[in-house]
Amino acid sequence: MSTRRTFLKLTAAAGLAPAVASAQGAAAGKVVVIGGGYGGAMAARMLKALEAKLDVTLVEPNPVYTSCPFSNSVLANLREIGQQEFRYDGIRRAGVSVAQTSATAIDATARTVTLADGNRLSYDRLVLSPGIDFNWGAVQGYDEAAAQKMPHAWKAGAQTVLLRQQLQAMADGGLVVMSVSANPYRCPPGPYERASLIAYWLKIWKPKSKLLLLDAKDAFSKQRLFQNAWAQLYPGLIEWVPLSKGGKVTSVDPATLTLVTEFGSHKAAVANVIPPQRAGAIAAQAGVADRTGWCPVEPVAFESTLRPGIHVLGDAAIMGAIPKSAFAANAQAKVCAAAIVDLLAGRKPQDPILINTCYSLVAADYGISVAGVYRPDKGQLAEVPGAGGTSPLDVVGGFRGQEAVYAESWFRTVTAETFG
């Protein structure tokens, strides 16, 4: 119980940090934010909220943002894709200029961003929150064309709808095969939530079907909670094949929906390939991505260690122990905004405390969670020992149902705060 108390105390402290910065704010300047997801949209809005004199531009080509969190529920028919969609009107109302175009080039020395519409923006500070791109070809045969046959559905939207249509069109008894990348990738527990919710849906609508989960790892987030729930709710339905049992998929054949591992091959009725990933393409163009494809940053203002003046948030960044989640991106955005206000006013940003919570649904009314608390330590964000933790393994009464409700409350809160 003392862990829970520590966690709450730190939550309160983290909540206060931006308010303190706001009271002292006297900064002016130009900030450009690239990428309108949970990191970028929140950062743009928070910058303006903390310091109204800032000139803040959000660069985002899509008029509508489609949320990955809760998109697995769309696959299981528990939500419609429209419930995942958010517009930028609230962000405009908050005083942020929204440039509905993409950034094509960044000059870190001249501090300018070139846009696809031909305009050029200058900045004092640049925030990059470009999310992920896929390493096409890392799984042999898996390219953009293959993703039309074997959807990744790891960027929500048309791909989510495609995978759902394929599941619905599948004959009862068909084999669903999922392939999961090695670390790091967007949303560590996401593939296992997806397997759970597809199983939930199969059990109702295609009870003769099975799900094969081919994994390039031997361990995963909330593993015991997931596996206990699978045994309880979906006995015999989900088969997890870890790396050490030959689970790593090395190539695919989209024409025959075949997934090939080091030791065998599997023909799917529906195949979902979650491929290896890297930071969104603009990060490499800007010179902030390293050889891993991800962006190293310092742990206080999340400024690139490769290019000064550029801050990187969310899934694109390597943030020490903090996972690639929407919750984390959103928390990083708030910390980064406060730090930028400080830096522009000539103040030293204070060390942050960040929190991450990931809820996963295992069934419509069965939620589990993992929480962590992070602070800078030796140039990295390190997990604070004893804070956070996962849902208990043994629970009574409506505990799992309550966590499913919390999950939905979190989603409503974070999307209202960011886009509302």
Partner 1 sequence: MANVLVNAPKTARRGQAVEIKALILHPMETGFRPGADGRILPRNIIELFTATWNGVEVFRIELSPAIAVNPFVSFFAVATESGTIGLRWSGDEGFLVEEQVAIAVE
Alpha helices in 268-398, H assignment, sequence order: 281-286, 326-344
Q: How far is the CB of 282 from partner 1 (least distance, A)?
A: 34
Site string for partner 1, 29-48 (x = CB under 8 A): --------------------
Report which of 402, 360, 323, 321 is spatially closest to residue 223, judged by C-alpha positions.
Answer: 360
Q: How far is the CB of 260 from partner 1 (least distance, A)?
A: 10
Q: How far is the CB of 243 from partner 1 (least distance, A)?
A: 7
Among 263, 395, 402, 413, binds partner 1 (CB under 8 A): 263
What residues does 266 pair with on adjacent strands?
259
Residues 314-333 that bind partner 1 (CB under 8 A): none
The β-bridge relationship of strands 310-312 and 125-128 is parallel
Helices 326-344 and 399-419, interaxial angle, to 10°?
40
Long-range contacts, 302-308 (Cβ 8 Å, 24+) = 302/332, 302/335, 302/336, 302/339, 307/108, 308/108
* 259: enclosing H helix or E strand: strand 258-261
At 113, which amino acid appears?
Answer: V
CB count within 10 Å of CB 4 equals 12
What residues does 356 pair with on adjacent strands?
372
Q: Would you put residue 389 in left (φ > 0), alpha (ψ -120 to 50) or beta?
A: left
CB count within 10 Å of CB 267 equals 12
Q: What is the DSSP string of 119-143?
A: -EEE-SEEEE---EEE-TTSSBT-S
Which residue number, 102 or 250, has a Cβ lying nearer to partner 1?
A: 250
Give the interface segment with partner 1, choosing from 67-75, 257-265, 310-318, 322-330 (CB under 8 A): 257-265
Task: Write the DSSP symbol of residue 173.
Answer: T
Give the interface segment with partner 1, choosing from 45-53, 261-269, 279-287, 389-397 (CB under 8 A): 261-269
The answer to whether residue 307 forms part of the interface with partner 1 (CB under 8 A) is no
Q: How far is the CB of 259 from partner 1 (least distance, A)?
A: 15
The answer to whether residue 251 forms part of the interface with partner 1 (CB under 8 A) is no
Q: What are 308's two structure tokens?
A: 């000064």
Give the interface segment with partner 1, choosing from 144-152, 168-176, 238-246, 381-389 (CB under 8 A): 238-246
Q: How far is the CB of 246 from partner 1 (least distance, A)?
A: 5
Place of tokens 């003392």: 2
Among 80, 262, 351, 365, binds partner 1 (CB under 8 A): 262
The footprint of partner 1 on this chain (CB under 8 A) covers a number of residues equal to 8
Q: How far is the CB of 248 from partner 1 (least distance, A)?
A: 9
Q: What is the DSSP string of 337-365?
A: HHHHHHHHTTPPPPPP-EEEEEEEEEETT
Which residue number, 242 or 276, has a Cβ lying nearer to partner 1?
A: 242
Which residue number, 168 or 244, has a Cβ lying nearer to partner 1?
A: 244
Among 3, 148, 244, 402, binds partner 1 (CB under 8 A): 244
Give the interface segment with partner 1, choosing from 61-69, 82-90, 258-266, 338-346 (CB under 8 A): 258-266
Residues 217-236 that bind partner 1 (CB under 8 A): 218
Report which of 128, 12, 43, 15 is spatially closest to residue 339, judged by C-alpha positions.
Answer: 43
Q: How far is the CB of 263 from partner 1 (least distance, A)?
A: 5
CB count within 10 Å of CB 238 equals 24
Give the interface segment with partner 1, choosing from 59-67, 114-122, 136-144, 243-251 (CB under 8 A): 243-251
Give the interface segment with partner 1, choosing from 113-121, 183-191, 205-213, 242-250 (CB under 8 A): 242-250
Residues 183-222 that bind partner 1 (CB under 8 A): 218
Among 63, 137, 207, 246, binds partner 1 (CB under 8 A): 246
Cα angle: 405, vertex 77, 181; to 5 degrees: 85
Positions that interact with partner 1 (CB under 8 A): 218, 243-246, 262-264
